[in-house]
Amino acid sequence: MFDVTPSPMGMGWRAEATSDAKIPLMNPHAIKVACSNCNLRELCMPVGLNAGELNRIDEIVATRHQVKRGATLFSNGEKFTSLYAIRTGFFKTCVTTEDGRDQVTGFQMAGEVIGLDGIVSDHHTCDAVALEDAEVCVMPFDRIEELSREVTALQRHMHKIMSREIVREHGVMLLLGSMRAEERLAAFLLNLVQRLHARGFSQSELLLRMTREEIGSYLGLKLETVSRTFSKFVEDGIVEVKQRHVRILNTDALKLIVNNNQQPGQ
């Protein structure tokens, strides 16, 4: 339970973009393209490395890669070569079947690593699409494997990243398998805002980078249901919604919706 303090920088609707540089950035021209200088390192790399190991880690990132909004970083069927650490921007990953079914499997933000799906078969099995202009660090997987044989902390880190993804997906399965629409949306909002807060953003305000349809796909709901549920939350005074700008007025109410597991009519 964390309390609902105002945004640390008192920002309004407009300023609450996920990619706004609230984590202080140095002048980009001064930054060497290397993890050891990266302010997101503690999000996507192991901590507690000594100087020698830090230098080795820098070998992992081959290049950086810009991805325009709407462009795909990788897609289903493509050869797998690298994992990608998100530096800036916001992604969705989704699986698609031949018969046109589509499922958003996750939304990823700065400091998170995507591409793990490709390891097992040497080919990607989902699409990663940028929901806003983004930059990723390209980490060739053979380099990661090589280095993690030598740097124990990196090996451990890779295992944790994969395990974390497995556990995250367990949570999504719980959501999809047992929650009703309001519970799903409440859980979704709490999850998003918690991750944003961990990156220095507000605990109560967020700017959705995805459409209602994408939220619906992720939550196993139709876009109309997402829209209606937002409206219901607004009626109940739990959130304010202006298009994609969401202000959470009552975090505890959202938590209650998720946890209380109300039987209808009780």
Partner DNA sequence: CGACACCTTGAAGAGGTTCAAGAAATGTGG
Partner DNA sequence: CCACATTTCTTGAACCTCTTCAAGGTGTCG
The secondary element (H helix, E strand) that includes residue 262 is none
Q: What are the residues binding DNA (CB under 7 A)?
A: 180-182, 208, 211-213, 220-228, 230-231, 241-244, 263-265
DSSP class of residue 124? -
Distance from C-alpha of 96 to C-alpha of 76, rounded to nearest angstrom: 8
User: Minimum distance between the CB of residue 241 and DNA, rounded to whole angstroms?
Assistant: 5
Choice from 88, 217, 225, 229 touching its own copies (CB under 8 A) = 217
- Sort residue 243 into left (φ over 0), alpha (ψ -120 to 50) or beta: left
Residue 182 binding partner per list DNA, its own copies, none, with a CB distance cut-off of 5 to 8 Å that depends on partner kind: DNA
Shortest spacing between CB 193 and its own copies, in angstroms: 19
Q: Which residue has the tokens 């078969």?
A: 121
Amino acid at 225: T
Min CB(24)–DNA separation in Å: 27
Kindly write out the interface string for residues 127-156 of this chain, putting x where it contacts its own copies by CB under 8 A and - elsewhere.
Answer: ------------------x--xxx-x--xx
Q: Residue 140 CB: number of other CB atoms within 10 A?
A: 16
180 is an interface residue for its own copies by CB under 8 A: no
Q: What is the DSSP string of 234-246?
A: HHTTSEEEETTEE
Please report, as a single letter, which amino acid is at residue 252.
Answer: D
Q: Which does 119 bind (CB under 5 to 8 A by kind): DNA, its own copies, none?
A: its own copies
Nearer to its own copies, 74 or 201 (CB): 74
Please give the DSSP secondary-structure letter assigned to residue 122: S
Say which entry of its own copies, DNA, none residue 160 contacts (CB below 5 to 8 A, set by partner kind). its own copies
* Smaller CB separation from its own copies, 123 or 245: 123
Find which of DNA, its own copies, none residue 100 binds, CB within 5 to 8 Å per kind.
its own copies
Q: For the beta carbon of residue 96, count every other beta carbon within 10 angstroms.
A: 14
Q: In what order do the strands lie in the sheet with 127-130?
A: 72-74, 127-130, 90-96, 102-109
Q: Using the rule CB under 8 A, is 120 a contact of its own copies?
A: yes
Task: Spell out the alpha helix ranges (H) of 105-250.
Answer: 141-150, 152-178, 181-197, 212-219, 223-235
56 binds, among its own copies, DNA, none (CB under 5 to 8 A by kind): none
> Quick one: what does residue 28 bind among its own copies, DNA, none, with the CB cut-off 5 to 8 Å set by partner type?
none
Residues 157-176 that bind its own copies (CB under 8 A): 158-160, 162-167, 169-174, 176
Sign for the CA dihedral angle at 56, 47, 40, 185 comes to positive
1 binds its own copies per the rule CB under 8 A: no
Number of helices followed by number of strands (H, E) in the chain:
8, 11
Q: Hey, what amino acid is at 147?
A: L
Q: Which residues bind its own copies (CB under 8 A)?
A: 95, 97-103, 105, 116-121, 125-126, 145, 148-150, 152, 155-156, 158-160, 162-167, 169-174, 176-179, 217-220, 259-261
